Amino acid sequence: MKKLPALLRSSALTLAVALSPAPIAAAPVVPGDPYIWLEDIEGPKAIAQVEQWNGETDRLLRADPSFEQDRARARAILDDESQIAAPDQVLGDRVMNLWRDAKNPRGLWRSTDLASYLAGKPSWTTVIDVDALGQAEGKSWVWHDADCLAPDYERCLISLSPGGTDADVVREFDLSTGQFVEGGFILPEAKSDVAWADRDTLLVATDYGAGTLTASGYPRIVKRWKRGTPLAAATLVKEGAVGDMTLAPRVEPDGDRRWTFINRALTFYTAELWLEGESGKLIKTPAPETAELRAVIQGRMIVFLNDPLGDIPAGSLVAWPLADVAAGKAGAPEVVLKPTAHAVVEEVRATDHVLWVKQLDDVSGALLALTRNPATGQWSSRAVPLADKATVHLAGAADKRDIIFVSVEGMLTPPSLMAAGPDGAARMVQQLAPRFDASQFTVEQRFAVSKDGARIPYFLARKKGVAGPVPALIHAYGGFRAAQTPTYLTTEPYRAGPLGLFWVEDGNAYVLANIRGGGEYGPAWHAAALREKRQNAFDDLAAVAEDLVRTGVSAKGRIAISGRSNGGVLVGAAMTQRPDLYGAAIAGSPLEDMKRYSHLSAGASWVAEYGDPDKPEDWAFLQKWSPYQNVRKGVAYPPAFFYLSTKDDRVHPGHARKMAAKLKDYGNTVYYHEYREGGHSVGADHAEDAVRAALLHAFLKREMGLKREIGGEKK
């Protein structure tokens, strides 16, 4: 499950904004649910069951003769020091990067100067050694984020998670001394959202005690906290309602000034956006509740429309002058960029004079540089060529120099980092050497036709010369506006290490499916699988599988499906609806019980995506596909592999536990791997990621027609 969408985040895109509900101390009594006790996250009985399942899976799959070879190879790939040193942040003339390798599994937060970085010859200085810090403090720290205050970037807010949960501790750090500030700002463990107002003031949304959270378990109060005073003395900025989703501060730099916003999230997809004026008064902006603030540039707020605004189509970028908004005089917006039938906006980043837009053009990444003519008020765009059929992501940016860093990769194209400026072509900063011989394989984009006639794109990777039908693995997500784009085969599927590479090397087919519910074709693609339309996502996945059968790539019963988080509920629904079509299922950190999901961990925040199971009219459509409720006695389901984390405070581990228990009790084959750290991202370091890749490969070989002698016994 995703964290909150961009409009609900602070300027640090990966900073979690939600506060976890209190852990379940004891499982509730739910009539008709014999497995409810497995919701007791750390309960002795539940943990004993988890350990038993883990042990069974380990004994079976680690006995595969190639397990250790796969694990070691996956670990070497993940820890390879030739990895891209991504510009996580550019602080003036300083580039910051979090580096993880075999010696530093939790990471080194380090710094180099911009000039040497652009030249491809960075000279790194370690600022924080996360592993050493954890050892010194007796904590299993996992790095989350750093928010450094412009323009001198001397003071930073460092977010560290104990064990990898979404919740973290926020501590003030001085970059000039390389030390945490004695007596500085510290926020206790929570999913706080915090932003700098100025050097001596923070805007803080957190758990302020009883009654300060929304019904979803998120902060609903933003306060202004002055240096040298206790958090309890912080003054109210804005308060939301209990029925809201969350309230969060957001501060956007714009040249030499900073604009302060407050997002009052009414649901996952609707929010009021407020601007703080010169006197501290909050003014409601003209941004529609379904829109998203994407950037601020040259005194204008850049907003993405998820719904039409007058005659401006959904998927467009529009702008309002912030001075007019602050004065209460905002009129009609300027149109910055409109979508086309095939090209839609996905990412937006502003430098001082250029608005950078990453588009998806039939699911392939493309980069545009947009500028505004102050005399005419018209926006113009320039395409910056990168690569065909590739995944493109905007990385850090050097604002004053109008330089954007862009990562580029494809299934057969190793990751590279490019830098684009206001003029001319992008230039290569770093490119990884190939980690496998790409000449052995082919990648093509195909389109399947879903039940209702929709064309569903998918990417197909195979060995050259392989004649089908062969076993196939389809990975998909289909939710929360999150597009799935093809990455290097050493990272496919997501959170499964080089499983995709191992799979195609075996002579099999790997597929990345772009089903509805994501953002591959803009807001309408997401809306087509929202709430009561969710069945479209399951039908799309089946359409891709059936297209593989129709074209001779694979065969019924020889197609494995994979998904995690929201993709886990997709896999669960798919395997219960079409056990004849799929031969195996991999569900990572999944939702499964859609009757209980809104009462577990952060689940209440996703009602806008799925529906409210407590409302009879919503449960009427949810119950038709909720995986846990649709497991039937007497039906043979595909063998399933569940992987997750005990410490996942976003998607409750009870989902996977209960689904596994029910399937097993009904006579089905289940493999189970619950990691005790790592949070929703599962792995707290590369060691766990490598083990998971090897386990999943052994599972697929065992259950997908590639069975072999294991431990002296034919399986």
| SS3 of 513-557 | ECCCCCCCCCHHHHHCCCHHHCHHHHHHHHHHHHHHHHCCCCCCC
> Active-site positions?
565, 680
Decide: 690 and 106 in contact? Cβ < 8 Å.
Answer: no
Distances (CA, A) of 580 to 558, 577, 635: 10, 9, 10
Which residue's structure tokens are 């459509």? 621
pLDDT 10s digits, 131-165 = 999 999 999 999 999 999 999 999 999 999 998 88
Gap between the terminal Cα atoms of the chain = 34
User: Any idea of the CA torsion for 68, 72, 74, 80, to the nearest 10 degrees?
Assistant: 180
Return d(Cα 415, Cα 117) in angstroms, integer.
17
Question: Which element (helix H / strand E) includes 628?
Answer: none
- What's the pLDDT tens digit per position in 613-661? 999 999 999 999 999 999 999 999 999 999 999 989 899 999 999 999 9
Confidence (pLDDT) at 199: 97
3-class SS of residue 488: coil
Give the Cα separation of 533 and 609 in Å (integer).
10
Task: In whole angstroms, give the CA distance from residue 346 to residue 483.
Answer: 8
- pLDDT in the model for residue 29: 62
DSSP class of residue 374 equals T
Strand 582-588 and strand 559-564: pairing?
Answer: parallel
What's the chain's Rg over C-alpha atoms? 25
Which residues of the chain are modeled with pLDDT < 70?
1-29, 681-684, 705-715
Tokens of 578: 């079409």
The one-letter code for the residue type at 646 is: T
Residue 689 CB: number of other CB atoms within 10 A? 25
CB 263 within 8 A of CB 276: no
What DSSP state is assigned to residue 674?
E
- Backbone CA torsion sign across 449, 451, 453, 459: negative
Domains of the chain, CATH where assigned: 441-714 (3.40.50.1820)
The pair of three-digit structure tokens given for residue 77, joined into one six-digit string: 């790939």
The reported pTM is: 0.89
Tell me the C-alpha distance between 614 and 119, whole Å. 57
- Spatial distance between the Cα atoms of 406 and 421, rounded to a whole number of angstroms: 11
Give every CB contact of residue 75 below 8 A, 6+ residues apart in sequence. Answer: 102, 686, 687, 690
**What is the residue-wise DSSP string for 680-714?**
GG--SSHHHHHHHHHHHHHHHHHHTT---EETTEE
Question: What is the enclosing helix (H) or strand (E) of 653?
Answer: none
Tokens in use for 2?
């995703």
State CA 295 to chain mean position distance: 20
Instruction: Output b/e per residue, 299-325; b: 16+ Cβ within 10 A.
Output: bbbbbbbbeebeebbbbbbbbbbbeeb
Distances, alpha carbon 152 to alpha carbons 91, 92, 93, 608, in Å: 8, 8, 10, 41
What is residue 434's three-state secondary structure?
coil
CB of 561 closer than 8 Å to CB of 574: yes
pLDDT at 165: 81
Please give the full DSSP string across 75-93, using - where no structure is assigned: HHHHH-TTS----SEEETT
